[in-house]
Amino acid sequence: MSTQQQLAEIKKYGYNIDFSDIFNKSLETYKKIALLAGVVLILFSVVVLSIVFGAMTVFMGVSVFSGNIADFNISGLSIVTVLIYIFGVSLLSGFVSPFTAGLLKMAHNAFHHLDFSVGTAFEYYKSSYFKELFTASVLIAFITISFSALLERFHVPFVGGLITYLISFFTFLTIPFIIFGNLKAIEAIQASFIVVSKQFFVLLGLIIIAIIMACLGLFGFCIGIFFTIPFLYAMHYCIYNEIIGTGYKSELDEIGASPE
């Protein structure tokens, strides 16, 4: 059954998932990717932050930039600066999305007992999926940041933050739908909304648990969070795999399916 056919079935009849089963599968998958994914996250974060800080320092100057970081407040910025901020963060989100896809691929490979390496985390930067990943992430980031910035300028940051979190939650399956479901950017966003809306509270509970687990790394001299964040990606993958599946069959599956 194709991804579109599965979505049609879900839209019509919904679906059921087991909270504890997904959690246990996520935990087992996380154990396999934690160390390598943590190292990759550290390296990637250092590179991205260096580029961002370098670019901001060039445009704003060292003293001005440090001051703005300490007192950053969108409501105090000019319209032009806010627009630059929105476009800048949206583009950054687009360029980071293939890396997120790579971490999900690591989770996929670990789940199915396949090999993975540091290169797995970066393979989507040179794949045919790059355009759709970039487009979807830029669209989602642009919409969420625009809402947040607009409402903050009207001095209701709480509402803006709530809308941002809701949009992020409803679209968290977008990347899996692109790389595993072969959907286009807009289709993947719509698919994520459909799937999440059908089991809103169960999925919300799973994501909250995943965030709590990820934050436990803060107690390990803060750097530990890089080795607990991969639990989020393991959870994202296991949720998608449980609901939609990736179409992958191991050799054991093939043997079991073959006629005697």
Cβ atoms 101, 179 nearer than 8 A: yes
Alpha-carbon separation of residue 127 from 122, 182, 237, 256, 258 (angstroms): 10, 12, 19, 32, 32
Amino acid 255: pLDDT? 47
- DSSP structure class, residue 125: G
By three-state DSSP, how is residue 44 classified? Answer: helix
Taking alpha carbons only, the member of 67, 50, 60, 57 closest to residue 81 is 60
Spell out the per-residue pLDDT of the chain, length 260, in tens.
789 999 999 999 999 999 999 999 999 999 999 999 999 999 999 999 888 777 666 665 554 445 555 455 666 667 787 888 889 889 999 999 999 999 999 999 999 999 999 999 999 999 999 999 999 999 999 999 988 888 877 777 788 788 899 999 999 999 999 999 999 999 999 999 999 999 999 999 999 999 999 998 887 666 789 999 999 999 999 999 999 987 666 554 444 444 43
Question: Would you give the distance in Å from CA 36 to the centre of its chain?
Answer: 18
Determine the angle formed by the axes of helices 200-215 and 157-170, rounding to 10 degrees: 100
Q: Is the pTM of this model over 0.75?
A: yes
Amino acid 72: pLDDT? 57
DSSP state letters, 120-137: GGGGGGGSTTHHHHHHHH
Assigned token pair, 9: 């079935």
Alpha-carbon separation of residue 87 from 80, 93, 163, 196 (angstroms): 11, 10, 19, 27
Which phi and psi angles does 56 have, rounded to 5°? -65, -35
By three-state DSSP, how is residue 22 classified? Answer: helix
Which residue in this structure is represented by tokens 């940051």?
157
Amino acid 134: pLDDT? 97
Amino acid 256: pLDDT? 42
Assigned token pair, 232: 């989020």
Amino acid 198: pLDDT? 96
Q: What is the spatial distance between Cα 19 and Cα 247, in angstroms, rounded to a whole number? A: 22
Taking alpha carbons only, the member of 190, 187, 195, 185 closest to residue 245 is 195
